[in-house]
Structure 1
Amino acid sequence: MAFVLGLFFVFSAQAQNLPRVKILATGGTIAGAGAAADQAGYKAGALPIDQLLSAVPQIHKYATVTGEQISSIGSQDMSIEIWMKLNKRINEIFSKNEADAVVITHGTDTQEETSFFLNLTLRSDKPVVFTGSMRAATAISADGPKNLFDAVVVAASPKSKGRGPIVVFSESIFDGRDIVKTSSTHMEAYTAPNAGPIGQVYDAKPVYYQESARKSDKNTPFDISGVTKMPRVEIVYMYADANPSLINALVNEKVDGIVIAGVGNGNFNKAYYDAIDAAVKKGVVVCRATRCVSGRVVLKDEVDDDKLGTIVSDDLNPQKARILLMIGLTKTKDKKQLQQYFFEY
């Protein structure tokens, strides 16, 4: 009896000394359920967080884990409202010392956007780790349990502090700013085209090779705790012989900003140029980005940005440029300052 009690106190002490990791579940494929294990079809966000945790009992060796359900959606339905809910809840978790780290389970389709939104707006440098899966929880060789295990291990590591939100997927660790989904169906769906992964996790051991030079978390000026509504920023795609009617329609709808997913170095045709010129003169902030997978958009190349009144996205793709412009507009409409944001964050 004394021996059993002794073991109980030893394990209790070990549990008390483990990092506390709070898992915030939003849905996605990792919580998906399908009619058949050998078929791709499934319903995203069908399984609750408790069921996901029960599939990975080994994580309790590395952290004291608790979970909360934030939403139960496929990430194609991710919204600014949920982003702001996540921002508020994570800041609250850390300010009230409810956990030492947060893991977010999230669908892969828009995970790169959510991770960048939080990269800019969180007010703590404690670890925030995203993960998901490409196969539903009910599929053969589902990748969700291993990704969730790796995400908890990375979140529990003291090496993960101060790096901003990161994404753990298929044993690779990516910076939340740089990650992009580059495959619609392959298991290794993510890359960071301009930077590469920042580390790996293998055999429950995270190893980091590099860190981002961009500022994140509390080192940004983007405290949105008092923001109730985000400025409206939309994306317009450029292609051969593109018609500018979408730009004109958005101007008529009085959007705050437009990101142009341009060709090459953020370029566009004469019809777009004229429509953008008119939009800028009506007070719409227009940012030139590129539809290319990698590279930068630089100032005053084929387009004279000073003359046209546009800004550039630097190395952010259109969907991430939209987020930074949207958040930047909560602080200022000064285009020089907005441009500096793109070079700094």
Structure 2
Amino acid sequence: MRSFLAGALCLSVLASAAPTLSVRDVPQTEFLNVTYSSSSGSLHNSSLPNVLILATGGTIAGSSTSSEDDTHYQAGVIGVAALVAAVPDLLNISNIDGVQFANKNSGDITSADVLQLSKLINYALCRSHSNYTGAVVTHGTDTLEETAFTLDITLSCSKPIVIVGAMRPATATSADGPGNLLEAVTVAVDPRAKGRGALIVLNDRIGQAWYTIKRNANTLETFGAPEQGFVGGLLSYTPFWYYPATRPTFKQTFKIAAINTLPAVEIIYAHESYNPKLIKDAISDGAQGIVIAGTGAGDESLAAEPYIAAAVAQGVPVVISTKINVGCVVPSAGSDTIAAGFLNPVKSRIQLQYALANNYSMNATRASFEQVLGSMIGYGASG
């Protein structure tokens, strides 16, 4: 069994970023602002694949003054060079280029950040003559599923993106970050990871980003797809896969090359006696789309109906999801609202943003959510 304890504890005293090093593909790495590289000198191994790690902060880069503290630590403290240095086994399976894309709590990651992150990853992986086998994104777990979903629906090639985080900071006695990072890179270089889009790897499990959600606020066994399950896992840091690469049935993909900003889309959380005027207020404040985290299977209150109708009349799409986070909102013939299907509220918001950013019509936006599921259950959705 490998031990990562010493590496994890040393992270708190390592520098937050390394100076830029010379690398083999200067134009590519300069564009990416590579701040750590094992691709030159004695560390480079020409027989190994190349992986790009983009660090954004989060618990995996968190630090505390106590090794027993896994609740009141500071997220986004440790840099990508230190993360790699704490897991020397990484360099036995790949050459690493590291980019310090950000270093903050994932709650502070913005949609604009993730759009730029996706453009960088598409450039690094999908451009002609790219020398990267795959990319790994280290990320805080609070919004990890949102970033992973965005990367999944905007990836333009078959190379894998693996998103990884940790539930305990690097300074914790039983830090999970180093092991998770090793597993993430291991999956990124596995040829069988190709064609699966973005993958989430934590705690010996491999999940497809389209389906995977955060299910628990505290425990290590928190990410998963409650109904659809995992696509694979790792045993002794060796990936296994339950079935060949496949595309999720309801997945849509979106072009991002011409997108520079994303339209505002707000989520309205339904509950007993919630104020549906929030829908009108959100639109008045500039929202171009609304997602309602509905009760049950996306139920709407009678009080909300006139506000929803007014929004649709203004040309503002209203997507109905469910706050339960697991399950399906089924398309209904003749409905003015758009059914989210199996997408939870935060993923529905992201998909609606990218549909609007690509200037989809109301019908095309509806089709991106409803068409596949609708055809299965007997309701059409025009494109």
TM-score, length-scaled by structure 1: 0.90
Inter-partner Cα distance in structure 2 for 1:164 and 1:215: 13
Where 1:152 maps in the other structure, the secondary structure is helix
Structure 2 unaligned runs (5+)? 1-41, 374-383
Where 1:84 maps in the other structure, the secondary structure is helix
Residue 93 of structure 1 pairs with residue 121 of structure 2: no
1:169-180 mapped onto 2 (5 Å cutoff): 169-180=202-213
How far has the Cα of 1:61 moved from its partner?
A: 1.3
Q: Show the counterpart of 1:187.
A: 220
Q: Show the counterpart of 2:199.
A: 166
Matched residue type, 1:30: I
Residue 118 of structure 1 pairs with residue 151 of structure 2: yes
Where 1:223 maps in the other structure, the secondary structure is coil
Matched residue type, 2:102: S
How far has the Cα of 1:13 moved from its partner?
A: 12
Q: Show the counterpart of 1:7.
A: none
Q: Show the counterpart of 1:4.
A: none
Inter-partner Cα distance in structure 2 for 1:121 and 1:324: 10
Q: Show the counterpart of 1:39.
A: 69
Inter-partner Cα distance in structure 2 for 1:236 and 1:277: 15
Q: CA distance change for structure 1 residues 278 and 84 in 2, over 3 Å: closer, same or farther?
A: same
Inter-partner Cα distance in structure 1 for 2:67 and 2:350: 37
Residue 264 of structure 1 pairs with residue 303 of structure 2: no
Q: CA distance change for structure 1 residues 179 and 220 in 2, over 3 Å: closer, same or farther?
A: closer
How far has the Cα of 1:250 moved from its partner?
A: 1.0
Inter-partner Cα distance in structure 2 for 1:334 and 1:42: 45
Q: Show the counterpart of 2:181.
A: 148
How far has the Cα of 1:213 moved from its partner?
A: 3.5
1:323-342 mapped onto 2 (5 Å cutoff): 323-342=350-369
Identity within the alignment, %: 37
Where 2:46 maps in the other structure, the secondary structure is helix
How far has the Cα of 1:193 moved from its partner?
A: 2.1
How far has the Cα of 1:339 moved from its partner?
A: 2.2
Q: Show the counterpart of 1:59.
A: 90
Structure 1 unaligned runs (5+)? 1-11
Asked if the contact 1:200/1:208 (under 8 Å) is kept, the reply is: yes
Q: Show the counterpart of 1:134.
A: 167
Q: Show the counterpart of 2:137.
A: 104
Inter-partner Cα distance in structure 2 for 1:188 and 1:282: 44
Q: CA distance change for structure 1 residues 18 and 215 in 2, over 3 Å: closer, same or farther?
A: farther
Residue 245 of structure 1 pairs with residue 277 of structure 2: yes
Q: Deviations over 1:133-162 (max 9, x none)?
A: 000000111000000000010001000011
Inter-partner Cα distance in structure 1 for 2:111 and 2:44: 39
Inter-partner Cα distance in structure 1 for 2:107 and 2:253: 29
Inter-partner Cα distance in structure 2 for 1:342 and 1:213: 16
The total of aligned residue pairs comes to: 328
Higher mean C-alpha displacement, 274-283 vs 147-156: 274-283
Higher mean C-alpha displacement, 243-252 vs 128-137: 243-252
How far has the Cα of 1:64 moved from its partner?
A: 1.2
Where 1:174 maps in the other structure, the secondary structure is strand
How far has the Cα of 1:271 moved from its partner?
A: 0.9
Indicate which of 23, 28, 42 corresponds to 2:58: 28
How far has the Cα of 1:340 moved from its partner?
A: 2.1
Matched residue type, 1:318: P
How far has the Cα of 1:212 moved from its partner?
A: 4.6
Q: CA distance change for structure 1 residues 340 and 212 in 2, over 3 Å: closer, same or farther?
A: farther
Q: Show the counterpart of 1:322.
A: 349
Q: Show the counterpart of 1:214.
A: 248
Higher mean C-alpha displacement, 48-57 vs 332-341: 332-341
**Structure 1 runs, 4 residues or longer, greater than 3 Å off:** 210-213
Matched residue type, 1:306: G
Provide the alpha-carbon RMSD of the alignment.
2.1
Inter-partner Cα distance in structure 1 for 2:68 and 2:140: 20
Indicate which of 291, 315, 318 corresponds to 1:286: 318
Q: Show the counterpart of 2:8.
A: none
Asked if the contact 1:194/1:315 (under 8 Å) is kept, the reply is: no
Residue 82 of structure 1 pairs with residue 82 of structure 2: no
TM-score, length-scaled by structure 2: 0.82
Asked if the contact 2:252/2:368 (under 8 Å) is kept, the reply is: no
